[in-house]
Structure 1
Amino acid sequence: MTVPAPRARRRPAGRVLPLLLVVALLAPMGVLARQTWQLTDDDRSLAVRERLGVEYLRALAPVTAALVDAQSAAVAGRRPSGSALSAAVEGAATVDARIGGLLRSQERWAGLRAKLEALRDRGVGDPEAAFTAYGEVTDLLLDLHRKVRESSGLVRDPEPDSSFLQDAAGQELPEAMVAAGRLADLAVLAAGRPAADRARTLTELAALRIGALVPAGDLVDDLRAAVDSSESTDLGGTVLTPLDTYQRAVEALAVASAPGRAAVLDPAPVVGARLNAHAAAGQLQPVILAELDTLLAARVDRLDRERWLLLGASGLAVLLLAVLAGLLVAAARRTRRRAAPAASPSEEADAPPDTPPWPPRPGPDGVRAGEPRPLEPAGRPVDPEAVRWGPVDAAR
């Protein structure tokens, strides 16, 4: 008798295919969500770092103003006010100790602070030497402004309005303030220089005049461009009023420092115009930095909302795909249950027959297997031995 070989168990394709479909949908969605999260996280990190740069620039603003005033006092032969400069230096030192490591500015600040300490201990002496010494320190201060803008990412700001604002507050305005102070101080020094140095003095005055007016003009252009490109309705009303005041002060400085017929420039109008421009800049710079920080804070909040929306959308998508996989698996199971009662032709051929292929042989009593035995009249079963030997006993 041939025994059929056992069939190999088939893999339940109804379960695998839905899972493959879910994985095929989930994999590209996961890659896209990861890339979007990375881009959003990079933009948010840049905005947070830029806010640190704004905080550092806000601390450097009083140092710039106090240093320019101290230079003018030293050139004029007066003792500079050490209290204002000391307070500004201490404030900037506190900020540098807290975030200078993140902005990689501590080394430059340490060098600048050493120079500032040396200037504070300097007595009233030669105005020309004071002009040179203060010029070196202000160069270091402007270099620190550039370093903070670069390390904080302000120079790489992707939005037009905030990019114009950071350029105006972090570069153009400090340069214009320093150059205007040098222009007024050189006008004071020019009156005491010998006639042999007159040509050199006029050349220096012309260069400093350009150095003061060009960044001031760029500052005005930056702020107007920021207002035009910004979606904020508050930026124009906040910035334009102090900007107009500063622009008028710069125009007065340009008129006072214009070369005339006189061989020596009158320092009084230049010094007065410089003081007005300095006061206007002191009102304008905090406004610019405050508006810049407001824009960056709003950007951080927007990116945070986008991150939460991305997390919510990703979680919802995973949940929907899980539900879809469950529905597909359930449908596949129902299909298999419906197809299970119907046997295949091969299974029917291999099934054992219900009846034997030939009739059974009769037993010793003449009764075939499965047939009922005859009963005696009394209802008792017939004895097979009696049936077999009955004729023989009768012949005897």
Structure 2
Amino acid sequence: MLEKITHLQLSKTLYLSILTILFAFPVIAQDKPELEIGGALRFNYNLSSWKEGQKKRGGDFGYDMFRINAKGAYKGIFFDAEYRLYSEEFGGGFLKQGWLGYNFTEQDQIHVGLTQVPFGIQQYNSNNWFFNLTYYVGLEDDHDMGVKYMHSGEKFEYQLAFFKNAEEYSFGSNSEVSSSRYAYDVAGRNKEVNQFNGKIIYKFGKETASRFGLSLQYGGLYNLDTEEVGDHSAFAVHYEITKGKWNGKAQFITASHNPENANGESRDVITMAAYGAPYEVAANFNMYSLGISRNVPVALGPISNLQFYNDFAYMEKKVEGFTDSYMNVTGVLISAGNVYTYIDYAAGYNHSWLGGNFVDDFAKGNPDAKWEARFNINVGYYF
């Protein structure tokens, strides 16, 4: 009991202290409020190797997503919010991000609210529409509720953050995390609490720009049945290089989850959820990813650029008897004014979204699984 009380008091004190620092600084005078509204409308075509009916009718073309973005500033405080609306089958409507910010200097900034978790290569550890395997285990473009401090210098960038929890909608004493969310978080009978993140980037090179970084994440896992707090952690080494029209991304992650589950419940897997549905993920794993892309400027009517890419990832599960997972996406991004079109060939092995049984592909997996593929075209108008 003493450990639980200490954990709660520490997180509450730290959170209030950071908020006090944020609002204690004098604001920069700004006479008129600023507001910018934008958004996107996207449609999707896909043809999947494991869907016999879909193959017979030549694939399906339909609605993907509509979103509204809003940015504003007044009296030195600014905000950034994005609300997305998917079909009910994919979680319906939810907030992707929404935070308040303040610039202490040109190099130092703070965010409060639903903000991106500083971990790994950002903004994305991928080039394609599907993201990479890192996204499907909550370690790419994740957003949680908390406070984040960022410094961007000539040679070094670093971020420090404290997240009280993932997105919360019900605020019940024993309510599970909602599956209606943009990024994957721990769900089911466990909830992410009191998470700390630290990330540092060293930048070097001129004609060849390089970014070498380290990321660390540690937090609690509160179990609704036992009312005990376990923990989870992740560490990443990442490198990104840009030379002319070429870009490369390489990353290694090791992650572990130690939930305090009820007796009889496995601790080899955790439940994660997003886009309206939960699935199981191996509690402990290593992940390796590599992406490469090249921009090709063109002048073909409204088309101004073609970005060709390949993104690969391998998930090594550190649980005896579990089968590893793989993902590879080859494609091209076509830029034509405000219209961006991803044409992807995504292949997966023991991948919940690419031909698996969905429930436990990222956990136990299937040793007899086959590589499956999905040909996908996503067309989006951004305004």
TM over 0.5: no
In terms of Rg, which structure is larger?
Answer: 1
TM-score, length-scaled by structure 2: 0.23
Q: Which structure dedicates a bigger proportion of its chain to helix?
A: 1
By relative contact order (CA 8 Å, sep 6+), the higher-ranking structure is 1
- Report the TM-score, using the length of structure 1 for normalisation: 0.23
